[in-house]
Amino acid sequence: MNNLRILVTGGAGFVGSHLCDRLIADGHEVLCADNFFTGRKKNVEHLFGHPRFELLRHDITFPLFVEVDQIYNLACPASPIHYQHDPVQTTKTSVHGAINMLGLAKRIHAKILQASTSEVYGDPEIHPQTESYWGRVNTIGLRACYDEGKRCAETLFFDYHRQHKLDIKVIRIFNTYGTRMHPCDGRVVSNFIVQALQNKDITLYGDGSQTRSFQYVDDLIEGMVRMMASEVGFTGPVNMGNPNEFTIKQLAERILQLIPESGSKVIYEPLPMDDPKQRQPDITLAREKLGWSPTIKLDDGLVKTIEYFRKIL
Catalytic positions, please?
146
d(CA 213, CA 247): 9
d(CA 115, CA 121): 14
Residue 82 binds ligand UDP (CB under 6 A): no
Residue 193 binds ligand NAD (CB under 6 A): no
Handedness of CA 178, 181, 186, 191 (dihedral sign): positive
d(CA 122, CA 128): 13
Residue 13 binds ligand NAD (CB under 6 A): yes
65 binds, among ligand UDP, ligand NAD, none (CB under 5 to 8 A by kind): ligand UDP
Of the two residues 27 and 63, which places its CB atom closer to ligand UDP in the complex? 63
Among positions 8, 44, 47, 78, the unique one binding ligand NAD when judged by CB under 6 A: 78
Enclosing H/E stretch for 177: strand 176-177
Residues 119-178 that bind ligand NAD (CB under 6 A): 173, 175-176
Handedness of CA 105, 93, 273, 249 (dihedral sign): positive
Residues 79-108 that bind ligand NAD (CB under 6 A): 93, 97
**Which of the 8 DSSP states describes residue 62?**
S
Q: Is 195 exposed, middle or buried (0-12, 13-18, 19+ CB in 10 A)?
A: buried
115 binds, among ligand NAD, ligand UDP, none (CB under 5 to 8 A by kind): ligand NAD
Size of the site for ligand NAD (CB under 6 A): 28
Of the two residues 76 and 248, which places its CB atom closer to ligand UDP in the complex? 248
Of the two residues 201 and 254, which places its CB atom closer to ligand NAD in the complex? 254
Among positions 111, 169, 187, 226, the unique one binding ligand UDP when judged by CB under 6 A: 187
* Under 8 Å between Cβ of 112 and 73: yes
Integer angstrom CA distances of residue 18 from 55, 200, 261: 14, 29, 30
Residue 25 C-beta: closest distance to ligand UDP, Å: 28
d(CA 313, CA 300): 20
Phi, psi of 163 (to 5 degrees): -80, -40
Mark 208-247 with x for binding to ligand NAD (rule: CB under 6 A) and - for no binding.
----------------------------------------
237 binds, among ligand UDP, ligand NAD, none (CB under 5 to 8 A by kind): none
103 binds, among ligand UDP, ligand NAD, none (CB under 5 to 8 A by kind): ligand UDP
Residues 21-60 that bind ligand UDP (CB under 6 A): none
DSSP string, 110-153: -EEEEEEEGGGGBS-SSSSBPTT---B--TTSTTHHHHHHHHHH
d(CA 196, CA 189): 11
Of the two residues 60 and 170, which places its CB atom closer to ligand NAD in the complex? 60
Q: Which residues bind ligand NAD (CB under 6 A)?
A: 9-10, 12-16, 34-39, 59-61, 74-78, 93, 97, 115, 117, 173, 175-176
